[in-house]
Amino acid sequence: MPDKIPGPRWKRPAAMRGAGNQLTLLQSMRRQYGDLVCLTEGSSLFREITACAGCIAAFGARHTAAILTRSDVFHTPPPLARQLGLPRSSQHLSSGLFSMNGAVHEQRRSWLTPLFSQKSIQGYQEDIAAGCADFLDTWVPETTIELLSEMRRLALLMLGRVLLGRASAHQDCIALLVEELLALRRAIGEDIRQSQRGRLTLRLSECGDQLENALRTRIRECRDGAAGVRCLLSRMCGAQWISDDEMIGHVTAILLAGSEPVAVCLTWTLLLLSQFQDCDAGVRLDWVIKESLRLFPPNAIMTRLTVRPCELDGYSLPANFQVILSPWISHHDEERFPRSEEFVPERWATARPTRFEYLPFGAGSKHCLGSQLGMAMATTSLQMMLARYRFLRLGDEPVDWKISVTLMPASDILVRLRPRRG
């Protein structure tokens, strides 16, 4: 029974807002109670889950594997649109692969997997590079930019080229709507007054309707053969048995999950390189990206929900019980990653963690399907940006961070674009 799992067992936990609170709390709970901790009884933690029976945190590769490989028992919680009670039309935007479970998830994942294979991604490489080149042409040397905001624009541009096609007249409109949708989701997830939440939820619904209409038009064009064969969406639309409503959900999931983590990864990586200039030219770029993702995994906290009574490490859990995992804590385990708080890209010359010790893209049956595409976007864009510029951070105050869907800087970072000579 959960009552045998050690932990504080809060009855009415205060809302834990801010990454420092959440991650520091989980880290201290592990140190105090061990790798399984009962955090709450009768309520969820960090996010609202209706009629939640309680919450445990599970740490260590063994527990992580036990949870992430049992997708029949440990489901992803309901999407935000459903929790907020948005109109059914808006819920299409949250009906993609990441919100699916069980046999339906397995079937849809089998359909999508070949489209995100290494061979397929090689075919998208030209679009990624062209999108990045067009974006970099808008920058003016020796000017100051807001790094996270710019990386969001870049990630959406590259992904839009791959997904929607270079000649899509809808790409700019869709990119702006996705950018606003992500901002609204972040705002609603933060500690705001109820009056503000109502206004933001209304705008979220309106923005969702506009995005759905734009995507529906583009999907119809692809189904009618108007899109080029190299457009990812046109390949997806070859599956005539997928309804337009469901296709909208999958496309939205790719846009949201494929852009924000890449933008955050680029931001942290460039910020780290701005502090370690000698690393810029002397270390393999893939090691730099891996180390950045180790220190700042976008999915710092993951949540699962039991759909029926089950056992975990000999303990019985009831249905509708929240389970919290933290890749951030796994990545900062001093035994697995010595000098875990330091930026040491060279560790990847020999480091060979298991997929449940190092999981910046998740693991198990819901491992991020687009992880290779995300890495291709990050690697290509970093190569091109670093070939043109050094990124000089303005100011030397410590960078704070927060969890707002992903692990990101608490405020945008100002950097100066210093051209490389020669």
User: Rounded to an integer, what is the distance from CA 171 to the centroid of its chain?
Assistant: 21
Cβ of 47: how many Cβ atoms within 10 Å?
16
pTM (predicted TM-score) = 0.92
pLDDT of residue 278: 65
Amino acid sitting at position 107: Q
pLDDT over 90 percentage in the chain: 61
The crossing angle, in degrees rounded to 10, of helices 371-388 and 147-164 is: 130
As a whole number of angstroms, the distance between CA 81 and CA 93 comes to 8
pLDDT digits (tens, 9 = 90+) for 111-132: 999 999 999 999 999 999 999 9
Per-residue confidence at 83, pLDDT binned at 50, 70, 90? low
Asked if pLDDT for residue 41 goes beyond 80, the answer is yes
As a whole number of angstroms, the distance between CA 67 and CA 377 comes to 30
Mean residue pLDDT of the chain comes to 88
Q: Is the CB of residue 251 less than 8 Å from the CB of residue 160?
A: no
pLDDT digits (tens, 9 = 90+) for 353-382: 999 999 999 998 888 889 999 999 999 999
pLDDT digits (tens, 9 = 90+) for 383-392: 999 999 999 9
| Among the listed residues 306, 316, 305, 285, the one whose alpha carbon sits nearest the alpha carbon of residue 378 | 285
Q: Say which CATH superfamily domain 2-419 falls into.
A: Cytochrome P450 (1.10.630.10)
Q: What is the 3-state secondary structure (H, E, C) of 22-79?
A: HHHHHHHHHHHHCCEEEEEECCCCCCCCCCCCEEEEECCHHHHHHHHCCCCCEECCCC
Asked if pLDDT for residue 166 goes beyond 90, the answer is no
Torsion sign across C-alpha atoms 165, 168, 174, 176: positive
Helices (H), 276-412: 277-282, 285-295, 327-331, 371-388
Q: How is residue 205 written in tokens? A: 């619904």
Q: Is the CB of residue 62 less than 8 Å from the CB of residue 33?
A: no
